[in-house]
Amino acid sequence: MPYLFTSESVSEGHPDKVADQISDALIDNFLAFDPESKVACETLVTTGQVVLAGEVKSNTYLDVQKIARDTINKIGYTKGAYMFDGSSCGVFSAIHEQSEDINRGVDRASKEEQGAGDQGMMFGYATSETENYMPLALDLSHRLLLELAELRRENKDITYLRPDSKSQVTIEYSDDNVPQRIEAIVVSTQHDEFVLPKSKSAVDKNAAEEEMVAQINKDIKEILIPRVVAKLPEHIQVLFNDDITYHINPTGKFVIGGPHGDTGLTGRKIIVDTYGGKGAHGGGAFSGKDPSKVDRSAAYATRHIAKNLVAAGIAEEVLVQVSYAIGVVKPTSIYIDTYGTCPFNLTDGEIAQKVSEIFDMRPFAIENRLKLRQPMYSETAAYGHMGRNNETISKTFEQLNGESITLDVELFTWEKLDYVDKVKAAFEL
């Protein structure tokens, strides 16, 4: 019997994502001037206020207030009407030095013997149902909001958009797990109060709200959706149909949003950041952590493994789990689940054994293989850490004394299919 599966995404202006982006901007600035920095920083955002907290071991000093403000302005919170903007919000820093008790388990005389920054289990996932090996419902949810943000910045076809928004896509699958059609799309977008009531009466207020919601419905269906569909491959385009159920700003107007509408915290969107509910998640957030924290680095490494296994034809769908003990160099386990989609006479245990031989999962080896000591993390902090484009860009960072540095940074290295040939050779394909 066919079944439904749903994933959601949130925009860069969602309060939790604002917090993630500030935390990762701090990571990037620390790594730009001291690649050996050890950082774990959390951010809280609320009406007119940013609170930074965490632990740092670094040889550089940063203007954390400026970094936070620049990040907020870049997102689009630039107006006092939002009750949260980069130029006027308060920024309080409670960042302090990293605990020596933690650091002694990570730093070693030989970098190759670097221990894991924490215990825990991390998961990576890949599926052949999309070109970027991501679950389709999540991929579409991200695309909707990326395009909505583009419309907001263009400020041409839709001129009332504000930074905060959410999306959700429900897909119907056949019994053999093939997407058949899109069942429902949800889009909630913050907006200006672009229709004012004629008076303070409840009737006029309701009329103004209904007019705004009707216009938003029309623009989402007639402007946003066609732009998203036009950029999709043909076999995904056909999943869009006239019977899709749309829920657009289903509670009515959405003027009060962002950190003024809800408090935002680093690390509260871990499913949006990964696979939209497919596969599994070990519970550890990514943003605000330097790559010595295996919550982040091992999650990227397992995605890299899963994607290369699927691309090599080992299976149509792969889940990879790895686990660590704090301060211990080698992982305590590596687990593979191919969901019965491996076309060869191989057990998941046999695949896991081969994977442990192909991929060195010691923390320092992961850092080297995926070049994780680069200031590459701001770009990960909205619209998902997985399924993104591997590319090299130029980034410039400035310190309080006016010193600046420009670096070429390779992004999303864990999305590279650079181990496909090694996997095929190891499995004699």
Could you give the domains of the chain? 3-9+136-259 (3.30.300.10), 15-107 (3.30.300.10), 120-127+274-426 (3.30.300.10)
Does residue 363 surpass a pLDDT of 80? yes
Binned at pLDDT 50, 70 and 90, residue 401 comes out as confident
Tell whether residue 289 is among the known ligand binding residues.
yes
156 known ligand binder: no
The answer on whether 254 is annotated among ligand-binding residues is: yes
Q: Is 253 annotated as a binding residue?
A: yes
Interatomic CA distance for residues 384 and 11, integer angstroms: 10
DSSP 311-346: HTTS-SEEEEEEEE-BT-SS-SEEEEE-TT---SS-
pLDDT category of residue 330 using cuts at 50, 70 and 90: very high
Measured distance CA(369)–CA(367) in Å, rounded: 6
Consult the annotation and say whether 211 binds a ligand.
Answer: no
Per-residue pLDDT at 103 exceeds 90: no
Q: What is the DSSP letter of 105?
A: T
Evaluate whether 5 touches 173 at the Cβ level (below 8 Å). yes
* Residues 324, 333: Cα–Cα separation, whole Å: 7
Span 34-62, mean pLDDT? 95
199 DSSP assignment: S
Residue 63 assigned as binding residue: no
- The reply to whether 243 sits in an annotated binding site is no
Quote the pLDDT of residue 24.
98
Residue 165 annotated as binding site: yes
- State the pLDDT at residue 390: 98
**Torsions phi, psi for 145 (to 5 deg):** -80, -30
295 annotated binding-site participant: no
Residues in the chain: 429
Classified as helix, coil or strand, 198 is coil
Residue 104 has pLDDT above 90, yes or no: no
46-58 average pLDDT score: 96
pLDDT tier, 413 (very low <50, low <70, confident <90, very high otherwise): very high
For residues 62 and 398, what is the distance between their CA atoms, to the nearest angstrom? Answer: 9
Please tell me which residue, 297 or 401, carries the higher pLDDT value.
297
Helices (H), 41-163: 64-75, 100-103, 136-154
User: CB count, 10 Å around CB of 109?
Assistant: 5
Query: Is 16 known as a binding-site position?
Result: yes
pLDDT greater than 70 at residue 235:
yes
pLDDT at position 172 over 60: yes
Question: Three-state SS across 395-419?
Answer: EEEECCCCCEEEEEEEECHHHCCCC
- 175-199 per-position pLDDT tens digit: 999 999 999 999 999 999 999 999 9
111 pLDDT higher than 80:
no
Is the separation of the CB atoms in 63 and 406 below 8 Å? no
421 confidence band (pLDDT: 50, 70, 90): very high
Region 199-219: mean pLDDT is 96
pLDDT band at residue 91, thresholds of 50, 70 and 90? very high
Task: Please state the pTM of the whole predicted model.
Answer: 0.95
Q: What is the mean pLDDT of the segment spanning 235-243?
A: 95
Instruction: Give the H/E segment covering residue 10.
Output: strand 3-10
Instruction: Name residues whose C-beta falls within 8 Å of residue 230's C-beta, 6 or more positions apart in sequence.
Output: none
pLDDT of residue 105 exceeding 60: no
Nearest to 54 by CA among 18, 30, 77: 30
